[in-house]
A and B are shown apart, each in its own frame.
Chain A
């Protein structure tokens, strides 16, 4: 009898799993089944703009956001709100992992490999490739490792390379900064922004691959060290 009572009183083993179930029932309609967004925004992000800390996240789930489409959830108990919050945090933020590499040595590998010629960390470097200041919050070690060795494996939309050739025959290569149905904005290697009306382009080639060279010749220790270094970059985005 006492055993069963204990079962009833204790928190479940995994609040994230409980939260996932609640999320799929109550949140998925707008935020997508796994939080990738649908009519509501994606929650797969390290920092939620409306929920800077834990208390704010609990309040947003419980009470909603006034004057927006985000309703509250009066039907959930306090414990259910906490479970849901735990799940939402788990999908947006990579948990800290114990990694085999040495982060300090990895910073040196990062320097020697000239990563800063394309990436920015804490304001240092060139911004052609993705900003890496908070990359450790957003990407798992596995994903980081893969992106270094095989950059084409998963290219995020914000890193799309485009080649635009104007009707006059001039060629522009860069990262797509933005695009609408009539125009496109491209940032070139030097950081200059070029804007084109699509009707004024002869061709517009959106490349699937990444311009980053594969670092598949890095010695395994260097690779693990640089992954460990990137994983420590958990600064604000």
Chain B
């Protein structure tokens, strides 16, 4: 009997069932943002304000290929899983950085990534499988013990410009993935697959078809090249079985003349029933966007007192430079304020719709607008700390001259209709800003030399970790933003940090160009 219990426990320990991911404990990092609520918050506190000055690199891992290393590692029961460019999954020993196994996707020679990098941002884990989206448009299940492929399902055709770069989201029995391709005029969607078999369970199109509600927000037949992709991992509320996912820019990006109207459901947050993929509500941040301000950032789920009332909310620091707080049950707009310089809207009305200033659209001779097309923030993660009740955002303070050009649709090619000329580097800067999560009021800021491409992670040790464009990996005091520690990684940081335990000791992992470094106190 004892033996049986032992084996039963062994089996359980080897598995990462949904309930373990939901609880998010034991010093693991089991989903893209660390928890389903999108917090990228570590509950570990061994590394804290008092001792972070002694943080040291313990090991370095070098990926096989050059290129941007944007992975957010998953750590489960003593194994770390990373993705490497272009589509490689590697299991590492988190004590030493030595490889346990590697799986590499054989990508077709004619694969194009149109408007984005040949990158991958991580795997999802569920039970004894790992899930990865591939640049050639497949979702693949791997055995997490050996790296052997268990199944693969085609999500979309790469020849039309679709790709997958984001980490999937694994929930009870399902693996959900978004797609890229917003600069190629694809039709965006979010799709869910049976975790055991790879069979598609639902597909939610982000752009309506003829006869469907929302299609009236697209002039003529412009909905056919409407884009609205879903290229960053969303969040999930287990209490209501709701998936929250952001959508990207309308196509073509900078020439709005050919698509008059609000262009639903681009640049929106979608709340979907996880069982069916049916939409519960939507909120569009930037109607009729002409600046490429995708709303795909990770949304953060928490409860807060807003205007004197306790609310179940979802918050987004948007690429368009506004911070939004919505009721996550109904989608009702509760609060919205700018958190970075913006010159395109007077503000938001009482429904959260921007009061757009006239004459801020791209022109043939160029029109200077803040923020730049990379936005006031971008795909890299924000963080919510339940201890400080602040949202931490990596902010890009940068303007650009926006140009409008001709857009000719040919499947599998750029369908952008213009571009930008950014201001010279010394006129731009970056910052980490702490916002009051309920109101968006800025509590502190830490300035960065250049606009960053790295996300942040707050911890129970009272710290916020982040990365700079110039390669500094650093820790700030979560309560006042004072810098407490930094390490030069030797190359641009374009990734998100994670934290976990190895042999009971806290570790922090951060990728940079060409390296993954794991840090600890001893």
- From the candidates B65, B118, B412, B468, name the one contacting A181 in the complex (CB within 8 A): B468
Closest CB pairs A-B (n = 9): A28-B419, A180-B470, A33-B419, A71-B112, A69-B117, A33-B403, A181-B468, A181-B449, A75-B413
Taking the closest CB of chain A, its distance from the CB of B397, in whole angstroms, is 13
In the docked arrangement, what's the CA distance between A30 and B414, Å? 11
With A25-B406, A71-B114, A182-B474 in contact, is A33–B449 under 8 Å at CB?
no
Whether A67 lies near B418 (C-beta < 8 A) is: no
Chain B residues, CB < 8 A from A30: 115
Whether B418 lies near A68 (C-beta < 8 A) is: no
Q: Which residue of A lies closest to B419 (CB)?
A: A28
In the docked arrangement, what's the CA distance between A181 and B445, Å? 13
In the docked arrangement, what's the CA distance between A26 and B114, Å? 9
Chain B residues, CB < 8 A from A28: 403, 405, 416, 418-419
Whether A26 lies near B403 (C-beta < 8 A) is: no
Taking the closest CB of chain B, its distance from the CB of A2, in whole angstroms, is 30
Whether A32 lies near B422 (C-beta < 8 A) is: yes
With A38-B422, A157-B425, A179-B470 in contact, is A25–B116 under 8 Å at CB?
no
Residue B147, interface by CB 8 Å: no
Whether B419 lies near A69 (C-beta < 8 A) is: no
Residues B441-494 near A (CB distance < 8 A): 447-450, 468, 470-472, 474, 483, 486, 488
Taking the closest CB of chain B, its distance from the CB of A63, in whole angstroms, is 10
Chain B residues, CB < 8 A from A199: 483
Chain B residues, CB < 8 A from A25: 405-408, 414, 416
Interface of chain A: mostly helix, strand, loop or mixed: loop
Q: Which residue of A lies closest to B431 (CB)?
A: A181
Chain A residues, CB < 8 A from B66: 67-68
In the docked arrangement, what's the CA distance between A160 and B449, Å? 15
Q: What is the interface of chain A, defined by CB distance below 8 A to chain B?
A: 21, 24-26, 28-30, 32-34, 36-39, 64, 67-69, 71-75, 157, 160, 179-183, 199, 206
Q: Which residue of B lies closest to A179 (CB)?
A: B449
- From the candidates B67, B403, B468, B474, name the one contacting A24 in the complex (CB within 8 A): B403
Whether B373 lies near A38 (C-beta < 8 A) is: yes
Whether B418 lies near A71 (C-beta < 8 A) is: no
Residues B40-99 near A (CB distance < 8 A): 65-68, 85-86
In the docked arrangement, what's the CA distance between A32 and B374, Å? 12
In the docked arrangement, what's the CA distance between A179 and B401, Å? 25
Contact sample, A vs B, 20 pairs, CB 8 Å cutoff: A25-B406, A25-B408, A26-B413, A28-B403, A28-B419, A32-B419, A33-B419, A34-B421, A38-B419, A38-B422, A39-B117, A39-B374, A64-B112, A67-B65, A71-B112, A71-B114, A72-B112, A73-B413, A75-B410, A181-B472
- Beyond known contacts A71-B113, A73-B413, A199-B483: 10 more, CB 8 A cutoff: A26-B414, A29-B419, A39-B117, A68-B66, A68-B67, A69-B116, A179-B470, A180-B449, A181-B450, A182-B483
Whether A67 lies near B414 (C-beta < 8 A) is: no
Taking the closest CB of chain A, its distance from the CB of B120, in whole angstroms, is 13
In the docked arrangement, what's the CA distance between A72 and B488, Å? 34
Chain B residues, CB < 8 A from A26: 413-414
Whether B116 lies near A33 (C-beta < 8 A) is: no
Residue B424, interface by CB 8 Å: yes
Interface string of B407-441 (1 = CB under 8 A from A): 11010111010111110111000100000000000
In the docked arrangement, what's the CA distance between A24 and B421, Å? 12
Whether A74 lies near B110 (C-beta < 8 A) is: yes
Per the CB 8 Å criterion, the residue count for chain B at the interface is 51
In the docked arrangement, what's the CA distance between A159 and B474, Å? 28
Interface of chain B: mostly helix, strand, loop or mixed: loop
Chain B residues, CB < 8 A from A69: 67-68, 113, 116-118
Interface string of B377-410 (1 = CB under 8 A from A): 0000000000000000000000001010111101
- From the candidates B67, B468, B472, name the one contacting A67 in the complex (CB within 8 A): B67
In the docked arrangement, what's the CA distance between A29 and B115, Å? 6
Residues B228-258 near A (CB distance < 8 A): 253
With A24-B403, A38-B422, A182-B486 in contact, is A29–B416 under 8 Å at CB?
yes
In the docked arrangement, what's the CA distance between A71 and B420, Å? 19
Taking the closest CB of chain B, its distance from the CB of A42, in whole angstroms, is 10
Whether B483 lies near A33 (C-beta < 8 A) is: no
Chain A residues, CB < 8 A from B430: 181
Chain A residues, CB < 8 A from B486: 181-182
Residue B366, interface by CB 8 Å: yes
Whether A180 lies near B414 (C-beta < 8 A) is: no
Chain B residues, CB < 8 A from A157: 424-426
Chain B residues, CB < 8 A from A24: 403, 405-406, 418-419
Q: Which residue of A lies closest to B427 (CB)?
A: A157
Chain B residues, CB < 8 A from A160: 426
Residue B183, interface by CB 8 Å: yes
Whether B412 lies near A21 (C-beta < 8 A) is: no
Whether A36 lies near B421 (C-beta < 8 A) is: yes
Chain B residues, CB < 8 A from A181: 430, 447-450, 468, 470, 472, 474, 486
Chain A residues, CB < 8 A from B410: 75
Q: For A25, A26, A74, A160, which residue has the most chain B Cβ atoms within 10 angstroms?
A: A25
In the docked arrangement, what's the CA distance between A15 and B116, Å? 28
In the docked arrangement, what's the CA distance between A39 and B373, Å? 10
In the docked arrangement, what's the CA distance between A47 and B24, Å? 52
Whether A29 lies near B67 (C-beta < 8 A) is: no
Q: Which residue of A lies closest to B466 (CB)?
A: A181
Chain B residues, CB < 8 A from A64: 112
Chain A residues, CB < 8 A from B420: 32-33, 38
Whether A67 lies near B406 (C-beta < 8 A) is: no
In the docked arrangement, what's the CA distance between A39 and B468, Å? 16
Chain B residues, CB < 8 A from A72: 112
In the docked arrangement, what's the CA distance between A25 and B419, Å? 8
Chain A residues, CB < 8 A from B253: 29
In the docked arrangement, what's the CA distance between A32 and B468, Å? 22
Taking the closest CB of chain A, its distance from the CB of B198, in whole angstroms, is 28
Chain A residues, CB < 8 A from B419: 24, 28-29, 32-33, 38
Whether A29 lies near B183 (C-beta < 8 A) is: yes
In the docked arrangement, what's the CA distance between A34 and B405, Å? 12
With A34-B421, A181-B472, A206-B426 in contact, is A21–B406 under 8 Å at CB?
yes
Chain A residues, CB < 8 A from B85: 67
With A24-B405, A28-B418 in contact, is A75–B116 under 8 Å at CB?
no
In the docked arrangement, what's the CA distance between A21 and B419, Å? 12
Q: Which residue of A lies closest to B65 (CB)?
A: A67
Taking the closest CB of chain A, its distance from the CB of B108, in whole angstroms, is 12
In the docked arrangement, what's the CA distance between A73 and B414, Å? 10
In the docked arrangement, what's the CA distance between A183 and B486, Å? 11
Residues B346-388 near A (CB distance < 8 A): 366, 373-374
